[in-house]
Amino acid sequence: MRLRTKGVLAGFAFLAVLFPAAFGMASTPKGGALTGKLTVTAPPRKAPPANPSYDEYGYSQPAPTSSQPPLPEEVVIYLKKVPGKYSPPKKHVQLDQKFLQFTTRVLPVLKGTTVDFTNHDPVYHNVFTNSQLNKFDLGRKKKGETASIKMDYSEVPVKVFCEIHNAMKAYILVLDNPFFTKAGPGQTYRIKGIPPGTYTMVAWHDYWQPVEQKVTIKRGKTTRADITLDKIQE
């Protein structure tokens, strides 16, 4: 029985090395984390005028549409020049059209990511950008049609429009590394697994003035860096 007990204990010890979290043991983290609260004291964005309705080809009609849900204000927090090679995700991300607007106002992606654009409206959309690096013009797409674009080049931001509905705007931030996130006013952000070092952190918004600040990341530690956006862009 003693030999059997020793064998069982040895087996548990071996498993604990392989799967430390399952046995309540904290594994040594390879990087550090960055967290903080996002505060906005800048004036709020002015509400856009109500959209008119459109026929199936996207041309304006006199009757107003039903109210559309407002998009939340989101700020992208990301780090510049983090060393390393980072492969884009195989899974596509979405920037769809619904209620005569894009489903998000700002979309951060890792360079090389494929973005799907699906039209959910009963009218045509023609999504395009005036970017010279990540050029695309999807042409007119009816409800249910999807077009996919690979974002090959780093660029902040890629401005996205609809050729038919000039009130529609969105921004794609094509970034060099995966250490980014989004947060709204009053929310707490968190980015994990960052290699140790000193970096420039950027808080980017399309209406409020973006801000930058230096942050130092230490292995196994969490760095606190609160952010305040207090100006609108001129």
What does the alpha-carbon distance between residue 42 and residue 56 come to, in Å, rounded to a whole number?
Answer: 39
pLDDT of 115 > 60? The answer is: yes
pLDDT-derived band at 63, boundaries 50, 70, 90: very low
Task: Please tell me the class of the 31-41+71-81+185-234 domain.
Answer: mainly beta
Residue type, 161: F
Q: Which are the contacts of 187, defined by CB distance < 8 A and separation ≥ 6?
A: 37, 38
Is 60 exceeded by the pLDDT of residue 78?
yes
In tens, the pLDDT along 80-93 reads: 999 999 999 999 99
Give the mean pLDDT of the chain. 86
Tell which phi-psi region holds residue 28, choosing left (phi > 0), alpha (psi between -120 and 50) or beta. beta
Over 90: is that where the pLDDT of 29 sits? no
Find the mean pLDDT for residues 103-115.
98
**Span 185-217, pLDDT tens digits:** 999 999 999 999 999 999 999 999 999 999 999
Work out the pLDDT band at 234, boundaries 50, 70, 90: confident
Select 87-175's CATH number: 3.20.20.70, 2.60.40.420, 1.10.3720.10, 1.10.569.10. 2.60.40.420
CA gap 100, 65 in Å, rounded = 10
What's the mean pLDDT in 125-129? 98
Domain 87-175 in the same topology as domain 31-41+71-81+185-234: yes
Residue 139's alpha-carbon distances to 11, 36, 60, 162, in angstroms, are 62, 41, 19, 10
Q: Taking residues 39-61, report their average pLDDT.
A: 70
Provide the 8-state DSSP code for 21.
G
Structure token pair of residue 151:
């974002």
Residues 166-192: tens digit of each pLDDT: 999 999 999 999 999 999 999 999 999
Structure tokens at 173: 């931030």
Sorting pLDDT into bands at 50, 70 and 90, what band is 24?
Answer: very low
Query: What is the signed CA dihedral for 205, 213, 37, 218, rounded to 10 degrees?
Result: 130
Does position 225 have pLDDT exceeding 70, yes or no? yes
Query: Are the beta carbons of 229 and 40 closer than 8 angstroms?
Result: yes
Predicted local distance difference test score (pLDDT) of residue 20: 39
Domain map (residue ranges) of the chain: 31-41+71-81+185-234, 87-175
The whole-number average pLDDT for the span 43-62 is 63
Pick from 113, 121, 232: nearest CA to 172 = 113
H/E element, 13: helix 2-18
- Tokens at 83, concatenated: 């060393």
Which pLDDT value is given to residue 70?
87
| 16 against 214, higher pLDDT | 214
Q: Which of 11-25, 71-85, 93-107 has the lowest mean pLDDT?
A: 11-25
pLDDT at 146 over 80: yes
More confident residue, 207 or 24: 207
